Structure 1
Amino acid sequence: MGESSDSVSVDVERFSFGGKEHHVLTRHGPLSVCVYGDLEKPALVTYPDVALDYMACFQGLFFCPEGVSLLLHNFCIYHVNPPGHELGAVAISSCDPLLSGDQLADQIADVLDFFGLYSVMCLGVTAGAYVLTLFSSKYKERVCGLILVSPLCKTPSWKEWLSNKVMSNILYFYGMCGLIKEWLIQRYFSKEICGSWQAPESEIVLDGRQSSNIWRFLQSMNDRCDLTDALKKLQCRTLIFVGEHSPFHSDALYMAAKMDGKYIALVEVQACGSLVTEEQPLAMLITMEYFLAGYGLHRPSQLNCSPRSPLSPSHISPELLSPESMGVKLKPIKTRISLEV
Structure 2
Amino acid sequence: MPSVDDLADQVAEILDFFGIDSVMCMGVTAGAYILTLFATRYRDRVIGLILVSPLCRAPSWTEWLYNKVLSNLLYFYGLCGLFKDYLLQRYFSKDLLGNLQIPESDIVQACKFLLEEKRSTNVLRFFQSINGRHDITARLKYLRCKTLIFVGENSPFHSESLHMISKLDRRCSALVEVQACGSLVTEEQPHAMLIPMEYFLMGYGLYRPCQFNGSPRSPLSPFCISPELLSPESMGLKLKPIKTRISLQV
State the match for 2:77 in structure 1. Answer: 174
- Whether the 8 Å CA contact 2:172–2:235 is kept in 1: the answer is no
Unaligned residue ranges in structure 2 (runs of 5+): none
Say if 2:19 is the partner of 1:116: yes
Query: The residue matched to 1:330 in structure 2 has which SS?
Result: coil
Distance 2:145 2:111 in 1: 36
- Which residue identity does 1:197 align to in structure 2? E
- Whether the 8 Å CA contact 2:204–2:226 is kept in 1: the answer is yes
1:163–1:299: structure 2 CA closer, same or farther, 3 Å change rule? same
- Which residue identity does 1:175 align to in structure 2? G
Cα RMSD between the aligned structures? 2.3
Cα deviation for residue 202 of structure 1 reads 4.7
Deviates more, 1:293-302 or 1:139-148: 293-302
Provide Cα deviations, 1:305-333, integer angstroms capped at 9, x if missing partner.
9925695563456353221xx2x123124
- Which residue identity does 1:277 align to in structure 2? T
Cα deviation for residue 174 of structure 1 reads 0.3
State the match for 2:93 in structure 1. Answer: 190
Say if 2:245 is the partner of 1:330: yes
Unaligned residue ranges in structure 1 (runs of 5+): 1-97
| TM-score normalized by the length of structure 2 | 0.87
Say if 2:135 is the partner of 1:221: no
Say if 2:51 is the partner of 1:148: yes
| TM-score normalized by the length of structure 1 | 0.65
State the match for 2:144 in structure 1. Answer: 235
Query: The residue matched to 2:133 in structure 1 has which SS?
Result: coil
Cα deviation for residue 201 of structure 1 reads 4.1
Q: How many residues align?
A: 235
1:214–1:208: structure 2 CA closer, same or farther, 3 Å change rule? same
- Bigger share in helix: 2
- Bigger share in strand: 1
Say if 2:232 is the partner of 1:314: no
Query: The residue matched to 1:329 in structure 2 has which SS?
Result: coil
- Whether the 8 Å CA contact 2:171–2:235 is kept in 1: the answer is no
Distance 1:257 1:280 in 2: 24
Distance 1:203 1:127 in 2: 18
1:317–1:127: structure 2 CA closer, same or farther, 3 Å change rule? closer
1:317–1:224: structure 2 CA closer, same or farther, 3 Å change rule? closer
Say if 2:62 is the partner of 1:159: yes
Question: For residues 12-23 of structure 1, what are the structure 2 equivalents within 5 Å?
Answer: none
- Whether the 8 Å CA contact 1:267–1:329 is kept in 2: the answer is yes
Cα deviation for residue 299 of structure 1 reads 1.0
- Which residue identity does 1:237 align to in structure 2? K
